[in-house]
Structure 1
């Protein structure tokens, strides 16, 4: 296609009538003793030429980023069940953190204690008991500083002695036996989320809701975009103040919600509930709960010619072009556009090559 060029403007010649008028004025001034040069003297104009801002055509691999709204919080909320009969005489407050050996709540003025482990408590433990739950209990007692027994799968008299010392420190009756419901095992420390029962309420049921301590981002991804989600894959996180951080997809599961249409009818909508953890958890320290953006890697184009998106020109005949710079001249050439990503666009077209300069409007 014909190129459009940008040239310099030129000064036109003075007309003859203007020259005659100036000559006559000079004669009059000479008769009066006036030097007209002092009136008409002007500094010599310097030639100027507009220099366009340019960018270089480069070869890059572009990867599209698909941004989805996410919510920063503490992840899934779980129920802390109470297996004891009696009355709640002690309850935590929302936001409390309970660690190994800490009191979760109290029933009939006797504490229920948090211990660490993956196997839930399912029976009472006393001398003669054997099993993985015994070893789990003994490991916790050892971590809390009690000794005199061997950490194994056998509940011996030595184990019972250590349990009595532990019960004494907690102000409990020293039975040497751990009744079902007096300890709760969790993978680690917990954070109390909400507390529904009131002091004095019956103890059967849920004592409170809790979460883990790690802050995570929860994202709802439409099924049409499920190929973006790869557990273990990297994502970009943008905080409300614009701070950017990297993260990793830690989990994904299918969920269903109900949405109401324009006609008032409700329908089930299936989506992926995705959890994302920051690679550096400290980036969330100043935040409790907040809306954040999560960027997933989408389509990719390898080894393509790229220019800033701003370099694209809309052509009168349709489509796009770029304005190539060659010395002091410019030429508009038509291009085919490809992937857009990170402020760049992939282009192709006749005569294009890496290293060429294109005009980028300022």
Structure 2
């Protein structure tokens, strides 16, 4: 499967597959007289094909990397000595410690808003609601889930801190929690125990736990990757599983060498419809099949059946009984060696001439 050109460019490409003999005749031009078909040739064409009705797909295959998606760095904001770190591959869920400083936990909570300030009574904002939603999910109550850090919120936070072995201050200091969209998988640990932290040094890198395929496309191929579109993913063992483009973004690559110019690429993140299909595959190169265009229930002929017309445009040679005549057609999508056509008198089942 491969990407095919469209429109005038596609038509010129289609002519490139004509044999030398047919191309020579086409150069002389098949003309129409008085707006209608001209007389057909004396002999039947050496080969024929049928006009068929089908769904056409413009597809393209790209290599992708199956893994756990983008890596995120966790910086240490709590002053102290690192006393415990996880192992690469560990999975951390809501309420669990990601790592420990001075034997106190830095805790994972769920949310899309990153922790960027201390949360204490009087503070308002969507990050307050995010914290309160997590406290509720962990079984703490007695407050209203809203955007205001109230005295009742502080009371619930003290109970939570007590259960974690933290000083019950009623305020959540910056760096005490990591907000992530869901459970995380530790990808790499970059700071070991007995190291001093607190100045924003990197502690570890983490990812989500869902399998993702990352595809890097040239900018000219960005039409292939649109958020929400369905794709096919071919795994190393030959199985094909459905997927969907989850996110599309622009990235800049710096090739090796100081003199090399940066290169802009399109990064598509693909989620598998059935994540279990990738069980047992830690990381691998896979093939992603993108469908850039789809034409439902259209008439098609082999690309080689197209003929150039002297007055411009394209036609087909229709075989009718013992003779033939030419019919002007409009071209649409080119894919899989066939071309979408339409025009007066063009119908399913017509027999058309093919070059030798």
1:222 aligns with 2:218: yes
Correspondent of 1:178 among 172, 178, 185: 172
CA distance in 1, matches of 2:74, 2:105: 14
Deviations 1:65-101 (A, max 9, x none): 1111111112211111111111110111111111110
C-alpha separation between the residues in 1 aligned to 2:92 and 2:296?
50
Aligned to 1:9: none
Question: 2: CA distance between counterparts of 1:123 and 1:106?
Answer: 20
1:62 equivalent among 56, 62, 79: 56
Residue 97 of structure 2 corresponds to which residue in structure 1?
103
Q: Which residue of 2 aligns with 1:131?
A: 124
Aligned residues: 299
Q: Specify the alignment match of 1:21 in structure 2.
A: none
The SS at the match of 1:138 is helix
- Contact 2:248–2:268 (CA under 8 A) maintained in structure 1: yes
Larger Cα-atom Rg: 1
Distance 1:57 1:190, change over 3 A: same
Structure 1: distance between partners of 2:49 and 2:149: 74
For 1:5 and 1:188, the matched residues in 2 are separated by 65
Structure 1 counterpart of 2:205: 209
1:250 maps to 2:246: yes
Q: Aligned partners of 1:151 and 1:300: how far apart in 2?
A: 47
| SS of residue matched to 1:225 | helix
SS in 2 for 1:87: strand
- Return the alpha-carbon distance in structure 2 between the equivalents of residues 138 and 342 of structure 1: 55
Give the alignment's Cα RMSD to 1 decimal. 4.1
3-state secondary structure, aligned to 2:123: coil
The equivalences for 1:331-346 within 5 A come to 341-342=335-336
1:189 has 2:216 as partner? no
How far apart are residue 150 of structure 1 and its match?
3.2
Task: Give the Cα–Cα distance (whole angstroms) in 2 for the partners of residues 249 and 344 of structure 1.
Answer: 27
Unaligned runs of 5+ in 1: 7-53, 314-320
- Rounded Cα–Cα distance in structure 2 between residues aligned with 1:284 and 1:342: 29
Q: 1:4 to 1:231 in 2, by over 3 A?
A: closer
Partner of 2:69: 75
Instruction: Note if contact 1:134-1:155 (Cα within 8 Å) is conserved in structure 2.
Output: no
Return closer, same or farther for 1:235/1:288 CA change in 2, 3 Å cut-off: same
Which of the numbers 277, 281, 298 marks the counterpart of 1:283?
A: 277
CA distance in 1, matches of 2:299, 2:145: 65
Query: Aligned pair in 2 of structure 1 residues 265, 183: CA closer, same or farther (>3 Å)?
Result: closer
TM-score normalised by length of structure 1: 0.67
Q: Which residue of 1 aligns with 2:13?
A: none
Provide the C-alpha distance between the structure 2 equivalents of 1:341 and 1:229, rounded to a whole number of angstroms.
18
Q: Give SS of 2:134's match.
A: helix
1:1-362 aligned within 5 A? 2-3=43-44, 57-126=51-120, 128-132=121-125, 133-152=127-146, 153-156=148-151, 158-204=152-198, 205-259=201-255, 266-298=260-292, 304-306=298-300, 341-342=335-336, 354-355=348-349
d(CA) in 2 for partners of 1:344 and 1:121?
55
Distance, in Å, in 1 between the alignment partners of 2:117 and 2:256 is 46
Query: TM-score, normalised on structure 2?
Result: 0.68
| CA–CA separation in structure 1 for the residues paired with 2:133 and 2:212 | 29
User: How far 1:202 sits from its partner (Å)?
Assistant: 1.5
Whole-Å separation in 2 of the counterparts to 1:242 and 1:230: 25
Kindly indicate whether structure 1 or structure 2 has the higher relative contact order, using CA contacts under 8 Å at least 6 residues apart: 2
Q: Distance in 1 between matches of 2:102 and 2:95?
A: 19
Deviates more, 1:171-180 or 1:200-209: 171-180
When residues 181 and 216 of structure 1 are mapped into structure 2, their CA distance, relative to the original with a 3 A threshold, is same
Quote the residue 1:17 is aligned against.
Answer: none
Q: Which moved more, 1:229-238 or 1:73-82?
A: 229-238
The answer on whether the counterparts of 2:119 and 2:149 sit within 8 Å (CA) in structure 1 is no
Task: State the shift of 1:345 in Å.
Answer: 5.9
Determine helix, strand or coil for the equivalent of 1:267. coil
Deviation of 1:199 after TM superposition, in Å, equals: 0.9
The question of whether the paired residues in 2 share the 8 Å contact of 1:305 and 1:348 is answered with yes
User: Measured at CA, do residues 273 and 123 of structure 1 come closer, stay the same or move farther in structure 2, by a change above 3 Å?
Assistant: closer
CA change 1:5–1:168 in 2 (3 A) is: closer
8 Å Cα contact 2:85/2:99 also seen in 1: yes
